[in-house]
């Protein structure tokens, strides 16, 4: 099965790994494969209020062999009012940076952060968008990895850069992302799907907005905060059956579009939807920051209307 992160094998109970395990990989699996030549670890720690903090944290300590990937320098274009605070970079530029980091078409890539997968998910979603299916998020944040006594180091890894990641003409990276025009069609009932807001409830409800100029949410959206994906006791991304509970009530037969503030933390929710069985999932790349960049776009506040289920779209495909 192409979606498996590791070569097919049986687990301790004799069962074959599920597709869900390809999206989120447990730390024990990574620990057992730290020396594997086909594994690339990417450290995606970041702080929106202090963009250099992630690099500093990496230089202090990181997983053995990990290379640092910067959300804003490596996985985003400059901010733009109509494209949001973290627009997607040109795909050739992203492919070139992957090559610099030693990422090629072969092998597995595991990405981690210390933000519940909120930054790592963006990198994994982008990797999968260009056709690299053997990409997953470490299911625990860096702080939990360290607290469990697993190894860390300050040593810079020695690796050989590769050519730019080959972009196949048969793979359309943009297919994994929705545009503002797509969202307008959803809101107007001209398209069919469910719209999910991955931000904190206070921001969704319009009670507070610390970053973007207008508080509220896109009309028709249902709030599923990305923090709900984590087990509150362990900090780990929940097991597949728990993820299904998180999304219970959402119609799995409808396409799903996920947004957040700027198209970053929405990706981890999109990955969780895929792990929970959703086949048609996209990330709104510009997200709320792009939506409010156009004053003509409508804004809603408060909870979704009773019975709406956060579902946008009237049935047209």
Choose, from 25, 135, 183, 260, the residue flagged as catalytic: 260
- The Cα 194–Cα 269 span in angstroms is 13
How many Cβ atoms are within 10 Å of 12's Cβ, its own excluded? Answer: 5
> Which of 129, 155, 131 has its CA nearest to residue 43?
155
Q: Is the dihedral of CA 170, 17, 283, 241 positive or negative?
A: positive
Query: Which position has the token pair 């979606």?
Result: 3
- The Cα 107–Cα 121 span in angstroms is 18
- The Cα 12–Cα 140 span in angstroms is 21
How many Cβ atoms are within 10 Å of 189's Cβ, its own excluded? Answer: 13
- The Cα 116–Cα 222 span in angstroms is 21
φ/ψ region of 210 (left if φ > 0, alpha if ψ in -120 to 50, else beta) reads alpha
Cβ partners under 8 Å of residue 50, min gap 6: none
- The Cα 272–Cα 118 span in angstroms is 12
Q: What are phi and psi of 193, to 5 degrees?
A: 170, 180
Q: Is the dihedral of CA 246, 250, 255, 258 positive or negative?
A: negative
SS3 284: strand
- The Cα 305–Cα 313 span in angstroms is 14
In the residue annotation, 260 being an active-site residue is answered as: yes
- The Cα 16–Cα 13 span in angstroms is 9
Active site residues: 260
């Amino acid at each position: 099965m192409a979606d498996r992160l590791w070569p097919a094998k049986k687990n301790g109970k004799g069962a074959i790994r599920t597709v869900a395990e390809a999206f989120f990989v447990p730390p024990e699996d990574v620990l057992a494969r730290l020396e594997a030549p086909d594994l690339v670890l990417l450290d995606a720690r970041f702080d929106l209020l202090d963009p250099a903090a992630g690099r500093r944290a990496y230089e202090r300590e990181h997983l053995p062999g990990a290379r640092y990937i910067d959300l804003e320098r490596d996985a985003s274009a400059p901010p733009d009012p109509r494209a949001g605070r973290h627009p997607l970079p040109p795909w050739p530029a992203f492919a070139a940076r992957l090559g610099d980091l030693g990422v090629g078409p072969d092998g597995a890539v595991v990405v981690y952060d210390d933000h519940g997968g909120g930054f790592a998910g963006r990198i994994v979603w982008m990797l999968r968008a260009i056709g690299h299916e053997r990409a997953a998020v470490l299911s625990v944040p860096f702080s939990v990895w360290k607290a469990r006594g697993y190894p860390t180091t300050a040593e810079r890894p020695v690796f050989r850069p590769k050519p730019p990641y080959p972009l196949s003409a048969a793979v359309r990276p943009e297919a994994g992302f929705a545009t503002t025009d797509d969202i307008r069609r959803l809101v107007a009932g001209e398209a069919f799907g469910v719209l999910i807001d991955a931000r904190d409830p206070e921001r969704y409800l319009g009670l507070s907005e610390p970053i973007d100029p207008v508080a509220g949410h896109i009309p028709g959206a249902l709030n599923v905060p990305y923090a709900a994906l984590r087990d509150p006791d362990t900090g780990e991304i929940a097991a597949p059956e728990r993820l299904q509970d998180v999304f219970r009530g959402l119609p799995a037969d409808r396409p799903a579009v996920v947004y957040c503030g700027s198209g970053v933390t929405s990706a981890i929710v999109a990955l969780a939807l895929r792990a929970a069985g959703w086949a048609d999932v996209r990330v709104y790349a510009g997200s709320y920051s792009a939506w409010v960049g156009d004053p003509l776009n409508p804004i809603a506040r408060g909870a979704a209307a009773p019975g709406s289920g956060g579902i946008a779209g009237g049935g047209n495909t």
